[in-house]
Every structure is written in C-alpha cells, then in structure tokens.
Structure 1
C-alpha cells in the first residue's frame, strides 16, 4: 500500500545539505575523489541512503527487476501511470567527483521538499528513480540499468559481462538481491513513465561562460566504447633481444597516439583511451597481450563511425609493424540524442532565464529518449572539470538547481488540489 505523504518540514534540507551527507561515502584515498562502482559497498550504502530518505518523505519505494530504485509520490492516484519521473545515478567512475549522479538524486529529494512546502498535491504522479551502473565503470557498458529496462542490451550479454576481478554481472546482481534470470526489457515499468527529467552537474564550461546557474539540455553527442586487444608474444625482458620481440605494448603505445591524431583530423570529434591493461603485467615481462578501451564521440554518428574505422586501420598497421595482431570489438554505442522538442520548449517556458546547452556526456535520459519524452537540466560546475576530484558545485547553485527542478515538476505534474 502506498504510504501517506508526511507533512512538510518547516524548512527543506536542500540539495546542498543532502549532498553533504554523502561526503564520506566511497572516498578513494589512492586516486582522490570517489570510487563508487555499482553494487560495491559504497554504492550500496548510497542506495540505502536514498531509500531511507524517500521513506522519511512518505514515498513508497520499490526496486524493479533490473535494479532501478523507485520512490513514488502518488498523491492518492492509485494507478501509477503517466508519471513525471526525475532522478539520476549514484555510481561513479574511478576517482570521480562528488556530484556526477548524486546531485541529481539529492536534488530530486530536495525538489519534493520544496513542492510539499508549496502545498502541492500533484495531478500526475511524481516518481524518483535511481539507475544502476550509469558510468559503466564496473562492467564496461554505460547506462546498463536503463539499457536493460528499455531493451537496449541483450540480457544474456548483460548477464555474462565481467568486472575487472572476473565476476559476472549475473553473480554480482544476484548477490545484490536481484534474480538475474529476469533482467531485461520491462514494458510494465516503462509504461508508467510519461515524462523523464534528469538533473545533472554540467560536465563542461557552458554555464561558467554564460554566468548562469542552470541550463536546459538540447542534445547528447553520439558516443560509444570499443575494446582493442593487441596480441604479441610474452617473453623475458632481460633475455630477449630488442630485434627479436613481438611486443604488443609498443603497438598499443602507437595506437594511443593514433587515436589522438585521427580525432584531430575530424573537427568536433573526441577520442580517448582511458584504460590500458597488459597481460600478464609484470615489470620484467614482455606482455603477451594488451587491451585498450576506446571512447569516441561526435554529434554526427557517421563521423563517429568514420573515426572508429580509421583508428582500426591505424591499429592494424601499428600491430603489424611489431609482428602483432589486433582485434576490435564494440562494447556499447549510443547515437546522437535530441531531447523531445516539445518538452524542451515547455521547460523553456517554466525556466525562461535558463540557456539551452548540448553535452558530450552520456546519460540515462539519453537512453530513455528512444521511447519516452525526456529532458535534462544542468547545474553550473565552476571548475568546468568532471570525472575528476576537481568537479564542483557551489551550494547556491545546487539550491538553484533543486528549485528549478521543483518548478519543472510542478509545471509538468500540475496541481490536483484546485
């Protein structure tokens, strides 16, 4: 049974105060910042924190079969249909910033407080959602939770994904309380969502340069992840002459350079190798293989494909020069997303001072956009840096974001109390 909403407190905690409650969870002493991979101890603590916060507000909580957390403000509607949904994620990249993901969750809770203080009884249900494995930092597929929900990834592929320690997603999900047999497309859950609005820290300098605290999202650049594996011959570092080597590390180094060079030849492209793992990884061992993870993004999906094709050609050339071979495999691919224009225009009416910005970062809102009306709000990041401990949001901007989200939720859900 849906819990009855509690009376509003005299003063809402606000997004900044809620964020402060998370400051010690998942700190990474080695990398700096935070490391909160999905279903880790840190991310589990954050999930429990969200559920507790939602229950304190009288919201009815549940976890769906894909591990998405839901908190419902039904306001006596009974049927959960055509809901206005907001939320984000709680996992992080290794050594990431404090705000990427959690700000959207904290702001959603704060927005509910603001709406309660305004005496709102929403005409449409409002729900808060937390999606697992948005960053893909543990299992390599970004937005895994929302992809499973929408059918954007085959469940068998998801079940067999492995983390760096060799654990399958099926085993990790089962340990977290899910039944991996039932992960995958969930039309019933999707059918409840009428509109989805995600608030997120801006991961660039757009709002800094415009001197505004909050922006409306217009689009997400097309982006994908690929795995390049260079195979050579493992051998002894001291007894193998330089001319007798088939060293995949040398080919990998040339590929990293080629990635930058290819991207620079395509204006607007971004291509990155952020992770490289040699096998076996000994200091006095010539590697037998090296795996590189490639991230490529561009607003034009054809350019993204061309960049990857050119990088693959350069990788084949670099591997052959060292007597090695290379294989390329796609891990995930998301085409450029343009958020629903009618919804974006409605947000513009509700937030007339907010500029409109695109982003090069992927989000669950982009995955959901394939079948739902979705939108995004961005909150100013004065450093302009993200996926790094330097990521930051000032308290006043966090409050401005939560208030903007409250205005949007009120405008979309409407008042059911006359």
Structure 2
C-alpha cells in the first residue's frame, strides 16, 4: 500500500466519535432553553460558545485568528503556503432552534484538525477551520454575514443600517462582541488565497433517512427569495357591514397562506413558506384593513417562473376580494452549483469507504454558497432524523456524524495534499 494512502487510513481510524460527542454536548449546553437553542448571532451565548471553540482550537495546536467581523480561523501549523483549504460552519442559531445545525460542521472540522495534529501530518496547503459569524438571519433579518465579509459582499453602510428586534444596530453589536465594523474590508480574502472548501452539514430534510443513505454529496444549493406582501383593504367596525361589503385584508392574507401551501404540494422542486403574518389595527372589534405576510421561496430551477406564479395567485385572490397589494423582494440569493471537481473528490473517497454516496440538492442556505463565489466548494450531508431542523427535536445519529467526519477528513487531506 502506498505510504500516503496508509496515512489517510490511519487518520480515518483515528477519528474519535466519543470526542466528537463530548464536544458537541458541551457546546450544546450553551444557549439551551426549554423552548430550544437560542444562540443568536453576536449574543452573549454566541460569544461564550465561540470562546469555547477557540480554546479547543488552541488545544489542537492550531494557529487562531479573528477578523474584524468576528469570523474565527484555526489553521494547521507547519503546512505549505499554497492556497488554503477551508472547512467549518457556524455556531449561531435561529430562535428556538436545534443543536445540530452548523455546530456539527464545526465540531467535525475540529476533530479533523485534531487528528491531523496528533498524527503529525503535514500538508502541502494549509487547512483552515472557519467558524463563520452570523450565518442565521433570525436576529438582523440578514444572514451569512461572516462569509459575505470574506468574499467582499458586505458593505459598511449595511452594518450601520441593519437593526435587531430591540433596535440595536449591527455595527454596535459587532463592536461590543470584539469586532471592528469599520475595518470589514480587511476581512476580504482574495480568490488566490482560497483553494477550496468543504462544509459538513446536516441535511435539514428527510431524503437521506427515507432512502437509507448515510452520506449525501450536494450537487447544488437552491435560489432563495424573501418577500414582504402588503395587502390593503378597509377597516370597519366588526359589528357593521354585511359579509359582501367587507374588504378584509387578513382574510385575503389567510387565503394567500393556503395558496402558498398548495404551491408546495404541486411543485416538488420548490419550498414555499409563509413564515409570519401581521394584521392592523389588530383589535377584535375591527375588520383588519391591512395585513402583511412574510414569504420565503426556494427554487431548484427557474425562480422567475415560480415568482410569477406566486404573484399571479396573489393578484387573483386580491381581485376577488377587492383588495390591493404590493410585493417587496427584501432578499435574494442566486442558486449555486457545487464544484464538479470537489464533488468528484468527495464521491470517489466515499465509494472507497463503501459509503454509497447519494447526490442531493440543498434547500437550505449555507456559508458554502457564499464562498463558492471565490473558490471551488463542496458539501457533505449527513441524515436528519425525521427531516426535522430549526427545532429542538433536530437530531442526527452520531454514527452518521462519525462517518461524515471521516469522509471530510479524507477529502481535506486529498485537497491539501500530504507532504
């Protein structure tokens, strides 16, 4: 057997599921509440968890760095100075979220780095474990903050404009967290600095579990559009006016929600969600004269077709009810194909490990999607039990996490090259 292949096999065997579980359980306690994990971006619990991960990086003999937006990097020592190979994910959560989303990718990446350090492996390119800042959009209605800064897609004026539900400005929050929002230009990494990236993540869907696969290799990440629909009717006394006279904006919004549900059933290549709804004046003695619906549309394919279908459905509902409406597209992210080369590397190694990988599309947004703008990127999925995510019941079997970590490690060593 070739020496390089033997070293990789030794590294794979050295992956310790007990160590992975121990670290996962330790970090999962931070931000845990009765309703779920509440470790929002740039919160105190996020800082506590980040400090813990940073201490683990140092224990693994990694060179630790933090950029102005508070991305944390742990880099292997003694490696060559070629383009870096990145891995990692995020540890911030949605409101009342689950423990596995993002965190598994960080803990798995840390285990890979620890094995590399313990075995004294040297690579031609350095490997960096990245804990991306602010991946989730729950706090500031704006996500993948850290990865956007890395690729140069984050502007200073955005940091001073975005606010959370308490009115706190993102720039001020970053500064209190230990960052420097006025230096975000220093976060940008040149394409010449990043050779590739692989992110390990839970699927956040039911496909792998249903077909009995342990590993998914991501083909692409779908487009994402977030829209605010404002419906205008007329406010009148709840005791006055016949049903035929009412221009009830909330009733129209409710019909839109059901239309969105029907879209999901009709088109398997989309995920359409009405995530929130508000009515005004919001009292029991008045027919709502206005209503606002927050919509999320994720499309595998031509997004314009389904946006047009959604708008047509809303128009028909509002015309029937004598309501007016307006749409605002508050967020858009293009679909992104993963690198064929990285897919090939991961798939080949998975087959050598007898894992029978399944090619899959991701309906979740990830930092990998952003990094793909400057470097070849791949993703490894492990199954989500019952497909549940963004929920305290989110879970993944640790045997699948170990397999995913072993595949991640072997793939990183292949890309970085053993010296």
* CA 1:279–1:159: 2 relative to 1, 3 Å: farther
Deviation at 1:263, TM superposition (A): 4.4
How far apart in 1 are the matches of 2:70 and 2:125? 24
Kept after mapping to 2: 8 A contact 1:16/1:395 = yes
Contact 1:141 1:331 in 2 (8 A): no
Paired position in structure 2 for 1:17: 22
After TM superposition, which residue ranges in structure 1, 4 or more long, deviate above 6 angstroms? 238-244
The gaps in structure 1 that reach 5 residues or longer are 1-7
Per-residue deviation at 1:318? Answer: 3.6
8 Å contact 1:16–1:399 — kept in the other structure? no
Structure 1 residues 175 and 319: CA distance shift in structure 2, 3 A: farther
Contact 1:254/1:318, CA 8 A, preserved across alignment:
yes
> 35, 46, 49: which is aligned to 1:46?
49
Matched-pair contact (CA < 8 Å) for 1:148–1:155: no
Call closer, same or farther: CA 1:263–1:382 in 2, change over 3 Å: closer
For 2:28, what is the secondary structure of its paired residue?
A: coil
How well do the aligned residues superpose, as a CA RMSD in angstroms?
Answer: 2.8
- Structure 2 partner of 1:111: 112
Measure how far apart 1:287 and its partner are. 4.8
Q: CA deviation at 1:119?
A: 3.1
1:368 aligns with 2:367: no
Q: Which position in structure 2 is the counterpart of 1:327? A: 326
Looking at structure 1, the residues matched to 235 and 174 of structure 2 have their Cα atoms a distance apart, in angstroms, of: 35
Q: Relative to 1, partners in 2 of residues 1:11 and 1:316: Cα closer, same or farther, differing over 3 Å?
A: closer
Q: Distance in 2 between matches of 1:65 and 1:205?
A: 37
For 2:198 and 2:360, the matched residues in 1 are separated by: 15
CA deviations on 1:23-55 (whole Å, 9 max, x unpaired) are 3222232xx331222112222222122112112
1:385 aligned residue = 388
Per the alignment, residue 28 of structure 1 pairs with 33
Whether the 8 Å CA contact 1:263–1:307 is kept in 2: the answer is no
TM-score (norm. length: structure 1): 0.86
Q: What is aligned with 2:299? A: 298
Task: Identify the structure with the greater helix proportion.
Answer: 2
Relative to structure 1, is the Cα distance of residues 262 and 167 closer, same or farther in structure 2, using a 3 angstrom cutoff? Answer: same
- The question of whether the paired residues in 1 share the 8 Å contact of 2:346 and 2:407 is answered with no
Q: Is the 8 A contact 1:383 1:390 kept in 2?
A: no
Partner Cα distance (1:397, 1:343) in 2: 21
- Residue aligning to 1:344: 343
Gaps of 5+ in 2: 1-10
Q: Does the aligned pair in 2 maintain the 1:196–1:365 contact within 8 Å? A: yes
1:171 Cα offset (Å): 2.8
> Contact 2:235–2:287 (CA<8 Å) still a contact in 1?
yes
- The answer (yes or no) to whether the contact 1:66–1:149 under 8 Å persists in 2 is no
C-alpha separation between the residues in 2 aligned to 1:247 and 1:371?
A: 48
- Distance change >3 Å, CA 129–CA 286, structure 1 → 2: farther
Partner Cα separation in structure 2 for residue 251 and residue 185 of structure 1: 48
Which residue in 2 is equivalent to 1:90? 91
The CA deviation string for residues 289-308 of structure 1, in whole angstroms up to 9 with x for no partner, is 433221112211x2x22222
The range that moved more, 34-43 or 282-291, is: 282-291
- Displacement after TM superposition at 1:261 (Å): 3.0
Residue number in structure 2 paired with 1:170:
171
Q: What residue is the counterpart of 1:180 in the other structure?
A: 181
Q: Is the 8 A contact 2:37 2:97 kept in 1?
A: yes
Answer yes or no: is the 8 Å Cα contact 1:66–1:145 preserved in 2. Answer: yes
Structure 2 matches for 1:125-204, cutoff 5 A?
125-152=126-153, 154-183=155-184, 186-188=187-189, 191-204=192-205
